[in-house]
Chains A and B, each alone.
Chain A
């Protein structure tokens, strides 16, 4: 158990719809990361939070993507006007020391 839960585990949506994913670390962590993993590829960094502050965003994170961490605990990742290219596994991770521990991910399929 990595101490990170994600919800939902699977999401199927139609192109153009909005979706929101949630990440819950079990214990308090200052930092929280989001990654995206497409089929046959390794995870790619999207963004990270230090407490409530979103400190860095990858260029992979287009204007349709927004992430929040309102109370410095759980985080949400919203994708507006989904496109088929958004189909991927979305992973959340929190660090302990220099090691990041990943949640099970949310698998998104955009039809």
Chain B
């Protein structure tokens, strides 16, 4: 079945550091790929998405490129802020359970220290 693997956390960085959170996937067909973020005490929010190979999703300074050849969708940000502290989930749809139901990774807890 479909699956998503993320680097395990917590990931602790200093403010203004460069961020990479790795995400790789296994899926049949051509899934869409997503990054969701969960800030402390809040619900899941879409951060960015990409729907086909070589697409780049971007939002709030975060970027991720859909790499079909390496089945990856790594999340990057050039300079993180304390407010980026949250749990980040990589997810795919299009070949998961329930007609576009999402398959999520386990999440990566990001901690940014001032």
The reply to whether B43 and A2 contact each other, CB–CB distance below 8 Å, is yes
Which chain B residues border A56 with CB–CB below 8 Å?
97-99, 101
Number of A residues, CB within 8 Å of B: 27
The reply to whether A45 and B101 contact each other, CB–CB distance below 8 Å, is yes
Which chain B residues border A102 with CB–CB below 8 Å?
36, 43-45
Does A33 sit within 8 A of B, measured CB to CB?
Answer: yes
The reply to whether B97 and A58 contact each other, CB–CB distance below 8 Å, is yes
A72-111 to B contact mask, C-beta < 8 Å, 1/0: 0000000000000000000101010011111111000000
Query: Given A31-B99, A95-B100, 20 other A-B contacts at CB below 8 A?
Result: A31-B100, A33-B101, A33-B102, A35-B102, A42-B89, A42-B104, A42-B106, A43-B89, A44-B104, A45-B96, A45-B101, A45-B102, A48-B98, A48-B99, A50-B99, A58-B98, A99-B34, A100-B102, A102-B45, A104-B42
